[in-house]
Structures are given as structure tokens and as C-alpha cells.
Amino acid sequence: MSRPDPAFWSGKRVLLTGHTGFKGSWAAIWLCAMGTKVTGLSLDPDQTPALFEQAGVGGLIDSRIADLRDPGAVEAALKGAEFDLVLHMAAQPIVRASIEDPIATFSSNILGTAHLLQTLRKQPALKAVLVITSDKVYANAETGRAFTETDALGGKDPYSASKAAAEIVTQSFARSFFDKAQVPVATARGGNVIGGGDYSRDRIVADIVRAGQAQGVTVLRHPEATRPWQHVLDCVAGYLVYLERLATNPATPRAMNFGPRPGGPEVTVGELATSAVKALGAKPWRHEPDPNSLEAQSLGIDASQAKRLLDFESQLDAPVAVEWTMDWYRLQADGGDALTLCRDQISRYEGL
């Protein structure tokens, strides 16, 4: 089974956008542990608390704060820097936030991607670029079938539509510019990620942790909905393995799903929440329907291509992912150092 290869990553110059976010912080910590020279490009953290600050990620890497929606700011932030690889994770990632402010979401996720790719055209040593989108890029007719990479793109809410559009923007830049320079540019579509250090709004685990700390009750809008749950380390590991392969084998496909193991059981929002509140010792959740919600009831992605072509698949099924996640929060609440907790789980994951 493939894992990120420290021998490959050691000494590589990597641009990581979104490094102040939840997944970006985990990616930065893991890359630094492998000896990678990481430059981060992102807005300031939008969470309180933020894993980026808890774990001192800014002290591990070259952290540069800039707004990807501003092409001049991107150009200035990256001026004079050279990169071997790029992992583009910066985004507005919340569905309900996209409904509240669709223009900001389109600007961040579509124009932000275009501004970055335009700036990267000037990188002389670039070997590969991976743009992270979402499992929600597919046109979802609620059939219950897991989506494959060849399925049609779509999106009935602004977040999903913005990520589908980012796929098209990325493909257009690849075919118009980067293919000619023999630089593979691809997209990765990850499932619903959980893990320690996520304090985002409207995230199931973060909501449960906040409710538990306040002795409150978690409210679920769609407990019957199914999602492709995966631990943050499974997701980040897939991205890194994919980026390695893009850099070393130009024949690698330019889009890849990452999610639970193919053939695994579906887990509803309610089932995952029940496991999480039990692990945390919190109060049982409560259902409050949202009749105006545009969120899909059924969502699954087929990650068999990653298994077949990259020899990669997720190692932590949903119950174990919940266990690792809640262990992180419990230990951190008891005074554990966030960076040490992340490094310990990374080492444990590498040893599976």
C-alpha cells in the first residue's frame, strides 16, 4: 500500500495554499516531518481556535498571508520564490456560507484558482500541480450511486458549483499552458474529512466538540444523509501520493477521487454523530430539519481508481476515524500539545 515517500519529499520546495486551514495545517505538519521546504499561501485563520495557531504551524514553514482573490497580492507574495510542486487547498469550503455569500465563494474558489495558476505559469522548475476540489463537484441526481471520475460535473448550491467550475478552470489552464510545458496539472476530489483540530462552522465533529465543551446538545439538520467519511490523514496521504505520481509519471490521470475504501458500508450523519458523542461523553444529538437546505441527501464517491493506479486506499474506516479524532480532542483538552498530537498520529498512521 502506497504512503507518502519521505525520500521523495525531502528537500522538495512545495507551495501549499490554504496552510492556515484545518487540512492545510495537517498537510504542512506532515510535509515538514518529511523534510520538505514548505511555503504557505493563505488568508489568516478564520477559526477560533485554529489548529494553525495551536500547533504553531507558522513557525514550521515560510508562511505568507495573501488573498488569492487579488491577483496582484498573489503575484507579490510569490515574487522571487521557486517551487517544485504545488498543492492548492485554499478555498471557501462551507456549503451554507456559500448560500449566504455566493459571490465571495465564486470569487475565492474560481478566480482564486485562476489567479494562482496564472502566476504559476512563470515558475521555471515546476514539476506538478494538484488542485483540491471536492466530492461535491458531480451532478448529483440522488441515485445513491458512488460517483466515478468520468461522471458529469455539476452543483446545485454555490459551493458545489464553484468547485465544479474550478475543475473546468484547472483543465483549461492545463491544456492551454501547462501541458505544453510538460507540467502535469490535476484535480483531486476528496470526501467528507474529519480529524482533530477542526473548528470550522457547520462541520459535524466541530459542532459536537463545541456542544460537548459547553455541555450543550448537537443539532443535526440531516441525520439520515450519507457521506463518504474519511480521516484527514487518509485524505492528505492520498493527495501527497497522487502529487508524487504526477511528478514522476506524466501518464497519470488528471483527476482522482479519494474517499472511503471501495465497497465499504455507508455511514449516515446520525450514525457518525452517535459514535462521536459517545466517544466524547457528550449529550445525545437532536434533529432539527432545515426545509430550505440544498445539501444532498446521498453522496458517495468511488475511489477504486486510486487503489488501482496509485495502490492507495484509506486505512481508517469511519468508526476508527471517529476514535482517532476524539482521542485528539480529549488529549488536547487535557493539556496535550497540539503539534505533538498531530505528529504522534502521523507516525501512528505511517506505521499501519
Q: Is the pLDDT of residue 115 over 80?
A: yes
Do the Cβ atoms of 77 and 64 come closer than 8 Å?
yes
Q: Is the pLDDT of residue 263 over 80?
A: no
Q: How many residues comprise the chain?
A: 352
Residue-wise pLDDT for 1-16, tens only, equals 899 999 999 999 999 9
Kindly give, in sequence order, each residue whose CB lies less than 8 Å from that of residue 117, ignoring residues fewer than 6 positions away: 129, 131, 169, 170, 173, 177, 178, 185
Report the alpha-carbon angle 101-107-111, nearest 5: 165
What mean pLDDT, rounded, does the chain reach?
A: 94
Q: Is the pLDDT of residue 142 over 90?
A: no
Do the Cβ atoms of 220 and 271 come closer than 8 Å?
no
Do the Cβ atoms of 107 and 37 come closer than 8 Å?
no
- Mean pLDDT over 204-218 rounds to 87
- Mean pLDDT over 319-340 rounds to 94
Residue 49's pLDDT band, with cuts at 50, 70 and 90, is: very high
Residue-wise pLDDT for 151-165, tens only, equals 999 999 999 999 999
Q: What was the pLDDT predicted at 147?
A: 93
Do the Cβ atoms of 318 and 272 come closer than 8 Å?
yes
Q: What was the pLDDT predicted at 279?
A: 83
218-251 burial by CB neighbour count: b if 16+ within 10 A, else e? bebebbebbbbbbbbbbbbbbbbbbbbbbbeeee
Q: What was the pLDDT predicted at 203?
A: 86
Residue 289's pLDDT band, with cuts at 50, 70 and 90, is: confident
Place of cell 485554499: 90
Q: What was the pLDDT predicted at 110?
A: 98
Following CA atoms 253, 134, 137, 15 in sequence, which dihedral angle do they give, to the nearest 10 degrees? Answer: -60
Helix (H, G, I), strand (E, B) or coil at 144: coil
Q: Is the pLDDT of residue 199 over 90?
A: yes
* Domain coordinates in residue numbering, the chain: 6-350
- Which CATH number among 3.40.50.620, 3.40.50.300, 3.30.460.40, 3.40.50.720 corresponds to the domain 6-350? 3.40.50.720
Residue 255 dihedral angles phi and psi, to the nearest 5°: -150, 140
Residue-wise pLDDT for 163-195, tens only, equals 999 999 999 999 999 999 999 999 999 988 999
* Cα–Cα dist 27/21, whole Å: 10
Q: What was the pLDDT predicted at 47?
A: 86
* 186, 294, 296, 345 from 157: Cα distances, Å: 23, 6, 10, 34
Residue-wise pLDDT for 13-46, tens only, equals 999 999 999 999 999 999 999 999 999 999 999 8
Query: Which spans in 147-203 are helix H?
Result: 158-173
Residue 291's pLDDT band, with cuts at 50, 70 and 90, is: confident
Q: Is the pLDDT of residue 108 over 90?
A: yes
Helix (H, G, I), strand (E, B) or coil at 189: strand
Helix (H, G, I), strand (E, B) or coil at 190: strand
Q: What was the pLDDT predicted at 212?
A: 83
Specify the higher pLDDT residue, 141 or 186.
186
Specify the higher pLDDT residue, 295 or 260.
260
Residue 296's pLDDT band, with cuts at 50, 70 and 90, is: low
